[in-house]
Amino acid sequence: MSSYKLLTPGPLTTTETVKREMLIDRCTWDDDYKNVTQVIRKQLLDLAQVDESEYTTVLMQGSGSFVVESVLTTAIGKEDKVLILTNGAYGERIVEMAEVLKLQHVVYSVPYDEQPSSLEVQALLEKDPSITHVAVVHCETTTGMLNPIKKIGEVVHSFNKTFIVDAMSSFGGVPMDLSGLYIDFCISSANKCIQGVPGFGFVIAKTEALEKCNGQARSVALDLYNQWEVMKKDGKWRFTSPTHVVAAFAKALEELMEEGGISARYERYAENNQLLRSRLAALGFKTYITEELQSPIITTFLFPHKEFSFEHFYHEMKKAGFVIYPGKLTDVDTFRIGNIGDIHEEDMLALCEVIENYMVVKNNEN
């Protein structure tokens, strides 16, 4: 395959230096390698602005969805009930997992272009005292929506419930103080805003909450508690770890710090996003959600007219060196463009110029 700029919510465009880390073979049992794991775990706590006396980090093999399921199967016991908030495909995936795992659950669903209401969460918790956990997606990449986890977390905390946040596409790219947000389990992935490659995810958990999970998991491989018990001793993974991916992630964390940390990365992502939105708006592209609900991660655009062919548009963008994302909505035609990864202003300007030229040609044809 040729080299493209991936304008997706992950996997995403990585630096050459991150890629080069994967050229070396490493042994899972080697002390140097296990130390890399321990350093990563500590660095993630620092990024989350929490203290290791109260929080811990567990790395888990697999895609982001594997790690979400590991939290659900481990943290929610047979007598527990989870309230799942949904306004997109990834919240709905949590519901699907709960159904397969046979977890007691209740769903609070709102339209894809709306945020869940903290007041409604409060009403649901008041109505049903048997609810023990609340789960929500922070950045719902179905639309690019950033959900109000601070307000929701305050409500969840006031009822003394366990708060699970899927921060897959936001952690590392959006500043987050887990303690101040009252998050008990924060879930993310190596190939998102920290700009590593696919292969593992991680959970930053309140240690007290994780300690209560012993023996609850309905899975061997996805038992988050047992993974933690082994890993916290010396950095050893229970089963074969993705060594190349871990090494790349360690380098990606180093480069995040060199960039200026999460605040600097957030600023770059936000500038990418604003540039993209403003330039495409001038061409007649409208966004699916309003600007105040928009994350700096990915934007969903409506088709500009009925004759618009996404397939043709996609292939023309790919010819120019850019890979974009199809829409994930069923009620309206959309496509998505991400602006995370090793993407900078010059890349967004080049993309916008390609789109502008494309639209001129198509308008002349019509």
Q: Hey, where are the domains in the chain?
A: 5-9+261-365, 17-257
CB 276 within 8 A of CB 337: yes
The pLDDT, as a whole number, for residue 116 is: 97
Q: Other CB atoms closer than 10 Å to residue 115's CB: what's the count?
A: 19
Assign 293 to helix, strand or coil: helix
Q: Which two tokens stand for residue 44?
A: 């993630």
Query: CA–CA separation, 366 vs 362, rounded Å?
Result: 6
CB 322 within 8 A of CB 4: yes
CATH number of 5-9+261-365: 3.90.1150.10
Kindly state the average pLDDT of the residues 196-225: 97
Give Rg (Cα) of the chain: 21
Q: Which two tokens stand for residue 225?
A: 């508690």
Mean pLDDT of the chain: 95
Kindly state the average pLDDT of the residues 170-184: 96
List the 185-189 sheet strands across, edge first: 55-61, 200-206, 185-189, 162-166, 133-137, 81-86, 104-109
Q: Is the pLDDT confidence value at 364 over 90? A: no
Q: Other CB atoms closer than 10 Å to residue 127's CB: what's the count?
A: 9
What is the value of pTM for the model shown? 0.96
Q: Which two tokens stand for residue 135?
A: 């789960």
Q: Is the pLDDT confidence value at 17 over 90? A: yes
The beta-strand segments (E) located in the chain are 5-6, 55-61, 81-86, 104-109, 133-137, 139-140, 145-146, 162-166, 185-189, 200-206, 298-302, 322-323, 325-326, 334-338
CATH number belonging to the domain at 17-257, selected among 3.40.50.2300, 3.40.640.10, 3.40.50.620, 3.30.200.20: 3.40.640.10
Confidence of residue 10 (pLDDT cuts 50, 70, 90): confident
Q: What is the pLDDT of residues 136-145, one digit of tens each?
A: 999 999 999 9
Assign 121 to helix, strand or coil: helix
Q: Is the pLDDT confidence value at 327 over 90? A: no
The pLDDT, as a whole number, for residue 247 is: 97
Q: What is the pLDDT of residues 308-326, one digit of tens each?
A: 999 999 999 999 999 999 9
The beta-strand segments (E) located in 237-278 are none
